[in-house]
Amino acid sequence: MNVPQHVPVLLDEALKYLNVRPGGVIVDATLGLGGHSTAIARRLGATGRLICFDRDSEAMAKAKVRLDELAAELGGEMPEVVYEPRAFSEAAKAIKPGSVDGLLADFGVSSLQLDEAHRGFSFRSDGPLDMRMDTRSGETAGQVVNQEDENELADLIYEFGEERRSRRIARAIVRARPIETTAELAQVISAAAPSMKGDKIHPATRTFQALRIRVNNELGEIETLLKSAPSLLKPGGRLVLISFHSLEDRQVKDSFREAGRDKRFEVLTKKPIVASEQEQLRNPRSRSAKLRAAEKV
């Protein structure tokens, strides 16, 4: 199987705050293509345990290839790897309370999802309007675009995409129905709300973000993880979370602030950690990444 090139975001920083040690138990709640997990596995050693979650079966299959290659390289020094093909919101169903030394989640869309047109996540290559991380179930972006009431469509674009021109975009989408592909949708949005002077992103970016968040219930998934993660960690266990837009980061920040106030966690990052200039040049997708970490008291 050909495994796409994947550059994990804030890798050194994530490893530092996870404080991975030989023999530890680490959860990678967002396995993706295995970029973070391969680096974690190298540090865990033969007595360690790595538990990997992902609801994207395509990504998990490719990550398994990468971790199998690492196992062949490390021989007897490879930790036990447990694969959980489900959403990270279900972590509490699969993990014994108080058994984990560190939990990492990277809430970004993986390179695989963005770069493969048939997944429908990106307008940069034409594909069906899907956007589901778990392609086995749930409504597609096409169903939302073609069936949602105009007012509800405008509300979700405004709330999840933080798009000021949401009413205008929703009206244009409803008039253009049926819309079948990512390129069609991007064209409709660009015509209704063209780029303004100073814009650094494509006019469709925020609407596509809003649809992806809705289709995958991303904010609900994060909320569930934030509630369950503390019970999974040992005292001294670390929670390391990487966000990519303000809605996610606000959830994490507010949760950490409340846990710190209640003395359940010590917040290790007073301000979010961001990618260095060198990393941003190497990997432009890291520009919006923010890492926050906390330790269970």
Pairing of strands 49-53, 80-84: parallel
In this prediction, residue 147 carries a pLDDT of 97
Return the domain boundaries, the chain: 11-112+219-296, 115-216
**Packed helices 205-216 and 150-161: angle between N→C axes, nearest 10 degrees:** 100
Rounded CA gap, 221 and 169, in Å?
27
Strand-pair partners of 239: 103, 294
Decide whether 11-112+219-296 matches 115-216 in CATH topology: no
Band (pLDDT 50/70/90 cuts) for residue 284 is confident
Above pLDDT 90, what percent of the chain? 81
Burial of residue 278 (number of CB atoms within 10 Å: 0-12, 13-18, 19+): exposed
What pLDDT does 100 receive?
98
Residue 111's pLDDT band (boundaries 50, 70, 90)? low
* Residues contacting 296, CB < 8 A, separation 6+: 230, 233, 234, 235, 236, 237, 238, 239, 264, 265
Q: Of the CATH numbers 1.10.150.170, 3.40.50.720, 1.10.3720.10, 3.30.70.100, which one belongs to the domain with range 115-216? A: 1.10.150.170
Supply the pLDDT for residue 114.
62
Assess contact for 217 and 224: CB atoms under 8 A.
no
- Could you tell me which CATH number the domain at 11-112+219-296 has? 3.40.50.150
Q: In what order do the strands lie in the sheet with 265-267?
A: 80-84, 49-53, 25-28, 100-106, 233-243, 290-296, 265-267
Q: How far apart are the first and last CA of the chain?
A: 43
- In this model, does residue 168 exceed pLDDT 50? yes
| 223-245: pLDDT as tens digits | 999 999 999 999 999 999 999 99
pLDDT at 122: 79
What's the whole-model pTM score? 0.92
